[in-house]
A and B are shown apart, each in its own frame.
Chain A
């Protein structure tokens, strides 16, 4: 079974600084999808960024970018120019291409300090 590990239960960053959240996963598949979801205090799960395993180029969405290391099974999220609104629980998630089941990590609670 696939597993997703987020080793940092909590992280903090100063406003306008950069922070990196780590995620590792275990799979025997060669093609799959990886996601970062954000869950602010409002509790809505918001898609931050998506990476397809067959694409070598790292995904980027505005201030959010990933460092995808397929051989190392690592998928970290970098948030640049952190804003107060970035404060949330961040979940890394894995999904096979042949199925719909998302496997989530335990989450990283990010605090942004003014």
Chain B
């Protein structure tokens, strides 16, 4: 089973709202990722968590705040977003971050619209 789940599937929020995206996997993977994807473009890496610790932050604005409460769950807290933040947000997980355990498996994504 290579299932990564994401909720909600769609989200519409105003620029003053606070919302959260959720990602969950039960494959025993120890690395989890957030990506942002604009239409007709490849995904862009935002954050990487390895063993529940933030290991990579790709200079993402502070209005995006990741959280990894446990090894199965990854959240992305959103606050004061801009319309240009509208995109598909993809979560992925991999067994590890080194060697041959790095293959990333993606969730279905959350389509975010900021008004």
Spell out A's residues near B (CB within 8 Å). 33, 35, 37, 42-47, 50, 52, 89, 91, 95, 97-102, 104-107
Q: Which of B101-115 contact A (CB under 8 A)?
A: 102-109, 111
With A91-B42, A104-B43, A106-B41 as known contacts, state yes or no: A99 contacts B100, CB within 8 Å. Answer: no
* Complex interface bits, B73-115 against A, C-beta within 8 A gives 1, otherwise 0: 0000000000000001010101001111011111111010000
Determine if B104 and A44 form an interchain contact, defined as CB atoms under 8 angstroms apart.
no
Asked if B48 is at the interface of the complex by the 8 Å CB criterion, the answer is yes
Q: Chain B residues near A100: list those with CB within 8 A.
A: 31, 33, 48, 50, 55-56, 94, 97-98, 102, 104
**Chain A residues near B37 (CB-CB < 8 A):** 43
Which among A44, A91, A97, A99 is the interface contact of B109 at CB below 8 angstroms? Answer: A44
Residues on B with C-beta less than 8 A from A97 are 98-100, 102
Q: Is residue B54 within 8 Å, beta carbon to beta carbon, of the partner chain?
A: no
Residues of chain B lying within 8 A (CB to CB) of residue A95: 102
Q: Which of A46, A101, A106 contacts B42 (CB 8 A)?
A: A106
CB neighbors of A among B24-67 (8 A): 31, 33, 37, 40-43, 45, 48, 50, 55-56
Residue A43 contacts which of B88, B94, B104 (CB distance < 8 angstroms)? B88
Q: Which residues of B contact A101 (CB under 8 A)?
A: 45, 48, 56
List of 7 A-B pairs having minimum Cβ-Cβ separation, nearest first = A104-B42, A45-B106, A100-B97, A44-B108, A43-B109, A100-B48, A91-B42
Closest to B94 in A: A100
A105 CB contacts on chain B under 8 angstroms: 42
Pick from B2, B31, B106 the residue with the most CB of A within 10 Å: B106
A35 engages B97 (CB within 8 Å): no
